[in-house]
A and B are shown apart, each in its own frame.
Chain A
Amino acid sequence: MTRGRLVRITVPVVVAALVAALPFVVTDRFLLKIFTYAGLNAIVVIGLSFLFGYGGQVSLGHAAFCGLGAYTCANLTATLHLPWLVALAVAGAIAAVGGLLLALPSLRLKGHYLAMATLGFGELMNLAFVEAVPLTHGVDGFTRIPPPSIGSLVLKSPAQLYWLVWAVAGVALLLAANMVSLRPGRAMRAMHGSELGAMACGVDLVGVKVRAFVVSATMAGLSGALYASAIGFVSPKLFSVTISVGFLAMAVIGGSNSLVGPVLAAIALTLVQYLDALVPGISREAAQIVQAWEPDVYGLLIVVVVLFAPGGIGALWRRKRAGEAS
């Protein structure tokens, strides 16, 4: 086994072990919940960076897919009392179908119409979440959503929920990494590099873009369903366009052509939101200032990364690994 291959296998295993071991080190319920939030965001961002970082497609409505997944799961478990795994699968399927319906017409067109179409979709879904009270309980939010259960095992403790979320994140990362390193990833990077050149190589531009979009929408839907079950409460505010822009910011900052970078960005930007809980020394006022200026930082980071470091964190990571290998 070559040294490179050894590294490529042991590093993820070690990281996975560290992630799994966290609840033994961090026992505070609230802190564990924060890391669970980070995992939920990471799942969305893995899908989004697959679509955007590799395929160059902008989506400003991914939070809407989270919402679709969340409300589907909530209705199926709380109202219809279906098994959780069934609800999860259906939630993912509904998000996938939604993604397909949105992507097919938008991606037929040349140019970046998808960006505006997803923005419109995001706004429309947000309106729908607010107005469809029988299904979503409107602005009051959907409460008392049952926790996840696999068979007879109910996952209720913070540690169990953390493990569930990060297990799903791990699977999502694995699937995305596989696609990226093989044919689909190459087709997407080709498309991103030159659409004319990709066409001249027989790449099915629309087919690839639509599939990438559906994959990312499904991941967002699954994350939403997980959120609903793990946290137990969802409301339309969680699925606004602002949240979508936040996801996109994580993908941008994490860097294009990278999955690890966006995951790190998702974790970092989630933790920043709870700075006062994480760093004991920070005063409430300081934390409030950070929170008030958080969107500014997002916006600034997007601009700075796009202009000066399109590779984002991912590129820094790759440069570091290249430096170590030589």
Chain B
Amino acid sequence: MSSLLAVRGVTKRFGGLTAVDNVSFDVFEGTVKALIGPNGAGKSTLFNTLTGFEPPDSGSVIFDGSEIVARKPRDVVRSGLARTFQNTQLFDGMSALENVMVGAQAHQPRGFAGSALRLPSLISEDRVAAEEAARLLRLIGIERWADVPAGDLPSGIRRLLEIARALATAPRMLLLDEPAAGLNAAETSELVHTMRRIRDGGITVLIVEHDMGLVMEVSDEIVVIDRGRKIAEGPPRMIQRDPAVIAAYLGEVADDE
């Protein structure tokens, strides 16, 4: 198994605070890896550095053999690495279907001239994008919301929609930032099925999550971050028993659902 995402020595500081401290790990192709840790441990910041939203102060990120640390988010997406956000960044004025269509456009040229003239190639590209968007909504199980403006959707559905949109960019790897937040028990188990289906479809997944049940059920490997530093990495069983992990979570256990 090859390492699809190799994170080496990534460090990010904000003024005096070191949010991410020399973190290194691998994510192997075709697996689901979870990134866990107490609140404020720097997980979302790490995501930002991996996807080009915030350049790290040092370190390297090698995705599919290429160094992506200096790339802009747009180029990272085009390289095949897609992400969702902890605070969903949907296009509230557009319908769910249109939201996903924007993701489907990721690899297409801007198309100003062609669309102004209504060239047949652009019309058919749009139709293909619409069909792909509909397919993804069905895959995630939210097709009945297709024509509803994203701003009117319940928060659980919004998170799922963002996943569908990220999938529309045809990624090789998906970074999910707390996808289960705001989901009830039924929706969470639906999410587990969806994530398995995503992985079985050949897409590697790195997920930041607090819901331990979900993490234990769905991950092949776990990496634990505490105060910006990696403190453990390994299969779920091993992590469960790791004393350093238990100590870091001692204050958090009571908060877990």
Direct contact of A and B (CB under 8 A): yes
Q: Contact between B110 and A197 (Cβ–Cβ < 8 Å)? A: no
Query: Bound complex: CA of A190 vs CA of B107, how far in Å?
Result: 16
Q: Contact between A197 and B85 (Cβ–Cβ < 8 Å)? A: yes
Could you say which interface size class chain A belongs to? 20 to 34
Query: Bound complex: CA of A257 vs CA of B94, how far in Å?
Result: 10
Distance between A258 CB and nearest chain B CB, rounded to angstroms: 12
In chain A between 177 and 223, which residues have their CB closer than 8 angstroms to a CB of chain B?
Answer: 178-179, 181-187, 189-190, 192-194, 196-205, 207-208, 211, 215
Partner of A199, one of B74, B90, B122, B125: B74
Task: Check: A175 CB closer than 8 A to any chain B CB.
Answer: yes
With contacts A182-B122, A257-B93 taken as known, whether A201 is within 8 angstroms of B102 at the C-beta atoms is yes
Q: Contact between B89 and A183 (Cβ–Cβ < 8 Å)? A: no
Q: Contact between A194 and B169 (Cβ–Cβ < 8 Å)? A: no
Q: Contact between B53 and A203 (Cβ–Cβ < 8 Å)? A: no
Which stretch from B4-12, B111-119, B135-143 is at the chain A interface? B111-119
Task: Check: B91 CB closer than 8 A to any chain A CB.
Answer: yes
Contacting residues, chain A, for B166 (C-beta < 8 A): 200
Which stretch from B38-46, B75-83, B223-231 is at the chain A interface? B75-83
Distance between B98 CB and nearest chain A CB, rounded to angstroms: 6
With contacts A199-B53, A200-B73 taken as known, whether A186 is within 8 angstroms of B105 at the C-beta atoms is yes
Q: Number of B residues contacting the other chain (C-beta, 8 Å)?
A: 42
Q: Contact between B115 and A184 (Cβ–Cβ < 8 Å)? A: yes
Query: Bound complex: CA of A184 vs CA of B110, how far in Å?
Result: 6
Partner of A184, one of B112, B123, B165: B112
Q: Contact between A200 and B110 (Cβ–Cβ < 8 Å)? A: no
Contacting residues, chain B, for A178 (C-beta < 8 A): 115-118
Query: Bound complex: CA of A90 vs CA of B76, how far in Å?
Result: 39
Query: Bound complex: CA of A205 vs CA of B53, how far in Å?
Result: 14
Residue of B nearest to A182 (CB): B115
Query: Bound complex: CA of A183 vs CA of B115, how far in Å?
Result: 7
Contacting residues, chain A, for B122 (C-beta < 8 A): 182-183
- What does DSSP make chain A's interface, helix, strand, loop or mixed? helix
Task: Check: B29 CB closer than 8 A to any chain A CB.
Answer: no
Query: Bound complex: CA of A199 vs CA of B75, how far in Å?
Result: 9
- Taken residue by residue from 176 to 214, chain B's Cβ proximity to chain A (1 for < 8 Å, 0 otherwise) reads as 000000000000000000000000000000000000000
Task: Check: B101 CB closer than 8 A to any chain A CB.
Answer: yes
Q: Contact between B102 and A203 (Cβ–Cβ < 8 Å)? A: yes
Scoring B53, B74, B98, B111 by chain A CB atoms within 10 A of each residue's CB, the highest score goes to B74
Contacting residues, chain A, for B85 (C-beta < 8 A): 196-197, 200
Q: Contact between B126 and A187 (Cβ–Cβ < 8 Å)? A: no
Query: Bound complex: CA of A192 vs CA of B122, how far in Å?
Result: 22
Query: Bound complex: CA of A176 vs CA of B123, how far in Å?
Result: 15
Query: Bound complex: CA of A197 vs CA of B110, how far in Å?
Result: 17
Partner of B110, one of A181, A189, A211, A257: A211
Residue of A nearest to B91 (CB): A193
Residue of B nearest to A198 (CB): B102
With contacts A197-B85, A204-B74 taken as known, whether A175 is within 8 angstroms of B94 at the C-beta atoms is no
Q: Contact between A204 and B110 (Cβ–Cβ < 8 Å)? A: yes
Q: Contact between B126 and A182 (Cβ–Cβ < 8 Å)? A: yes
Task: Check: B56 CB closer than 8 A to any chain A CB.
Answer: no
Contacting residues, chain A, for B111 (C-beta < 8 A): 182-184
Q: Contact between A194 and B105 (Cβ–Cβ < 8 Å)? A: no
Contacting residues, chain A, for B102 (C-beta < 8 A): 186-187, 190, 198, 201, 203
Partner of A200, one of B82, B108, B116, B126: B82
Distance between B125 CB and nearest chain A CB, rounded to angstroms: 7
With contacts A182-B126, A208-B110 taken as known, whether A201 is within 8 angstroms of B93 at the C-beta atoms is no
- Listed in ascending order, the chain B residues whose CB lies under 8 Å from chain A are 51, 53, 72-74, 77-78, 82-85, 89-94, 98-99, 101-103, 105-108, 110-112, 115-118, 122-123, 125-126, 162, 165-166, 168-169
A-B contacts, 6 listed (Cβ < 8 Å): A175-B117, A186-B105, A194-B92, A198-B91, A200-B82, A201-B169
- Listed in ascending order, the chain A residues whose CB lies under 8 Å from chain B are 175-176, 178-179, 181-187, 189-190, 192-194, 196-205, 207-208, 211, 215, 257
